[in-house]
Amino acid sequence: MSHPLFHRGRRLRSSAQIRDMVRDTAPLLIEDLIMPYFVVETDDQSFRKEISTMPGQYQLSLGELEKQVEKAVDNGLKSVILFGIPAQKDEKASGAYAEDGIIQEAVRRLKHRWPELYVITDVCLCEYMSHGHCGILTPAGTVLNDPTLPLLAKTAVSHATAGADMVAPSDMMDGRVSAIRAALDEAGLVMTPIMSYAVKYASAFYGPFREAAESAPSCGDRKSYQMDPGNRREALIEALADVAEGADALIVKPAGPYLDILREVRDAVELPLCAYQVSGEYSMIRAAGLNGWINEEAVMLENLVAMKRAGARMLITYFSETLLEKRLVR
């Protein structure tokens, strides 16, 4: 006979059916996933280069991008986010907002082929700047905030004009959401939503991305504009500022090491929230899986479910193609 105060929690874990019925967080859905792609401006339309620090991920020409996305779409992919690698860089990030820029051309090609595919573009200048920073740089190495805003706004408008469904500024300049919203509206693009990288930490987990996007800064670091990993309350200040400036959705980046932040932002704002499982998170799981140290499928699913449990509705993850190919999402 059990004690009257004896709690039998196992009653609701005793079968797969009851576990499914009482689960707090829904399983991963196809609609949750956003797949990142790195697109290279090149005359070689067969260009396809594996990123050494991100096994299974590639830099792709426009032609190879279309082939890669075709397979993913056939497996159910509904949304992508694009990062561009231009042929030439300068100190004004001219390629970021060029009408025939690599991202603009990639958007046109994807939207022509798959009108229903939801195409998001990363709006930043680091890949296009000769110095690799996210804004205009002084000779002393200081990133200028306000003079950078018009360039970000021009970039966002050029992406939306090319057909992007959503723009996602990741630069962490103050006031960029307001500047982009005003520019989009002035251009008649009032229905283009902004998903802001509102809470973006200066993280060591971005390491592999530097190779993928060829965007490592040539001097200094990004700590003067990306957030200090030790700061919690600042995340809410940044998130609420972007809400006030007109953001339609927010991103927390990185995701796994910042689940506490993800939860706090979820509790503080009503906008849809996206978690970005960044390159370092992907590479650690993938490397451990390739070495047989972990069950890669189980770990990737557990990580992503944790992000949903913490409050994310959307998930930017390099595992999107794998999840779809292996039918690990519904």
Calculate mean pLDDT across residues 300-321: 97
pTM, two decimal places:
0.94
- Among all residues, which ones are annotated catalytic? 200, 253
- Residue whose C-alpha is closest to residue 304's, from 326, 278, 327: 278
**Sequence-separated (6 or more) residues with CB below 8 Å from residue 45:** 61, 62, 63, 64
Q: What is the pLDDT of residues 80-134, one digit of tens each?
A: 999 999 999 999 999 999 999 999 999 999 999 999 999 999 999 999 999 888 8
Q: What is the pLDDT of residues 205-239, one digit of tens each?
A: 998 887 787 677 767 678 888 999 999 999 999 99
* pLDDT at 207 (0 to 100): 86
Q: What is the pLDDT of residues 3-17, one digit of tens each?
A: 678 888 998 999 999
Q: What is the pLDDT of residues 252-294, one digit of tens each?
A: 999 999 999 999 999 999 999 999 999 999 999 999 999 999 9
* pLDDT at 42 (0 to 100): 96
* pLDDT at 289 (0 to 100): 97
Residue positions counted in the chain: 330
Residue 1 has pLDDT above 60, yes or no: no
Residue 301 has pLDDT above 60, yes or no: yes
d(CA 100, CA 86): 11
d(CA 188, CA 288): 48
Domains along the sequence of the chain with CATH: 33-325 (3.20.20.70)
